[in-house]
Amino acid sequence: MPELPEVETVRRGLQPLMEGARFERVEARRGDLRWPLPKDFVKRLEGQTVTGLGRRAKYILADLSSGEVLLMHLGMSGSFRVAQAGHEETPGDFLHERSKSAAHDHVVFHMSSGGVATFNDPRRFGCMKLIARGSLEQEPLLRALGPEPLGNAFDAAMLAAACTGKQTSLKAALLDQRVVAGLGNIYVCEALHRAHLSPKRKASTLAGRKGAPNDRAAALVEAIRAVLNDAIEAGGSSLRDHRRTDGELGYFQHAFRAYDRENAPCPTRRCPGIIRRIVQNGRSTFYCPVCQK
DNA sequence: CCGCGGGCCTGAGAGC
DNA sequence: TGCTCTCAGGCCCGCG
């Protein structure tokens, strides 16, 4: 599922019940996620207070009073479902849908706030890890990540520098989390469409001589920021069965301009193009061959 | 070092 | 209805 906007939406959904609250009881029903949960996972969490809930790229990071950090990744199909204190989950479609997937409820956090957060992940590409805060800098999963696209450090100069000399396509470069951290297949397609840049263009063409950024780099940075901000505001995208923690659907999928729109007319003003689907590095790319150069 | 393809899993949907 | 095939929002790893 989840790229930066979806992960940020999940983080915001978890915040009210987790931040400042204690893990009263933790259920590790299935430990064989992307990597096995540590054997003492439950013991190291129970009794700890969450002092802050943050995000880096597509990782959610919970700071614990023990000095450890709980790192969580949703993989392709992971999601959290939240139940508030004293409230049964609302009956109806969501409950029905949930009953189908209860077999994939792998980890359950019972918080002192009274809230319960349930991690569901059919494909089990997600992961959870406990890391000492002092060694967070050395954590292999985080160490090589590039800049946060919504942070101040990310600008045209930085993007151009990261792409200098890259022989690969712009599409592949933007999917590379070392170049910029948090984009996935959807938002790369959407950002390139907004910037009117072809996904097949060489990444190195974002920089002029000496690696100086050109107008394409500037346009791409603006497009990335805009699409991520728009998507966060819409609560992320809901494809297939993914939902927000409150069971509501994000609705940014209705605003896609290129992704999953093969053969539809290009939405760029006065562009006569038709959205095409191609495969790059084994993944679908959607783009307009007319206005994306 | 770089870029690419395989593999990890399950489920939904299309086509027969 | 049921089978088979393809595809899916991610990312580590090994290969050349």
For residue A6, which of A168, A179, A238 has the smallest C-alpha distance?
A: A238
Instruction: List the single protein residue with the shortest CA to C1' distance from B9.
Output: A123
Asked whether strand B has any atom less than 7 Å from the CB of A133, the reply is no
Domain that holds residue A79: 4-143
Q: Which of these three, A119, A143, A167, is where a domain ends?
A: A143
For residues A96 and A212, membership in a common domain is answered with: no
Asked whether strand B has any atom less than 7 Å from the CB of A106, the reply is no
Report chain C positions within 7 A of protein CB atoms: 7-13
For residues A102 and A8, membership in a common domain is answered with: yes
Q: What are the tens digits of pLDDT across the range A266-292?
A: 999 999 999 999 999 999 999 999 999
Q: What are the tens digits of pLDDT across the range A161-178?
A: 999 999 999 999 999 999
Which residues of A in 176-205 have their CB below 7 Å from strand C's atoms? 177, 184-186
Q: What are the tens digits of pLDDT across the range A137-167?
A: 999 999 999 999 999 999 999 999 999 999 9
Instruction: Indicate if A3 belongs to the active site.
Output: yes
Residue A70, domain member (yes or no): yes
For residues A134 and A164, membership in a common domain is answered with: no
Q: What are the tens digits of pLDDT across the range A181-226?
A: 999 999 999 999 999 999 999 999 999 877 899 999 999 999 999 9
pLDDT of residue A100: 52
SS3 letters for chain A?
A: CCCHHHHHHHHHHHHHHHCCCEEEEEEECCCECCCECCCCHHHHHCCCEEEEEEEECCEEEEEECCCEEEEEECCCCCEEEEECCCCCCCCCHHHHHHHHHHHHEEEEEEECCCCEEEEECCCCCCEEEEEEHHHHHHCHHHHCCCCCCCCCCCCHHHHHHHHCCCCCEHHHHHHCCCCCCCCCHHHHHHHHHHCCCCCCCEHHHHECHHHCECHHHHHHHHHHHHHHHHHHHCCCCCCCCCCCCCCCCCCHHHHCCCCCCCCCECCCCCCCCECEEEEECCEEEEECCCCCC
pLDDT at A111 > cutoff 60: yes
Q: Which of these three, A108, A143, A178, is where a domain ends?
A: A143
Taking CA atoms, A200 is separated from A87, A155, A205, A293, in Å, by 50, 22, 11, 9
Per the residue annotation, which of A8, A11, A58, A257 is the catalytic one? A58
| Residue A69, domain CATH | 3.20.190.10
> What percent of chain A lies above the pLDDT cut of 70?
93
For residues A59 and A80, membership in a common domain is answered with: yes
Report chain B positions within 7 A of protein CB atoms: 2-12
How many domains does chain A divide into?
A: 2
Q: What are the tens digits of pLDDT across the range A43-94?
A: 999 999 999 999 999 999 999 999 999 999 999 999 999 998 766 554 333 3
Instruction: Indicate if A137 belongs to the active site.
Output: no
User: In the numeric block, which tokens belong to residue A22?
Assistant: 């204690």
Across the range A86-115, mean pLDDT stands at 70
* Confidence category of residue A99, pLDDT binned at 50, 70, 90: very low
pLDDT of residue A210: 77
pLDDT at A95 > cutoff 50: no
Distance A124 CA to B6 C1' (A): 18
Per the residue annotation, which of A2, A147, A199, A213 is the catalytic one? A2
Residue A293, domain member (yes or no): no
Q: Which of these three, A143, A170, A195, is where a domain ends?
A: A143
Instruction: Indicate if A283 belongs to the active site.
Output: yes
CA distance A291 to A73: 35
pLDDT of residue A94: 39
For residues A134 and A193, membership in a common domain is answered with: no
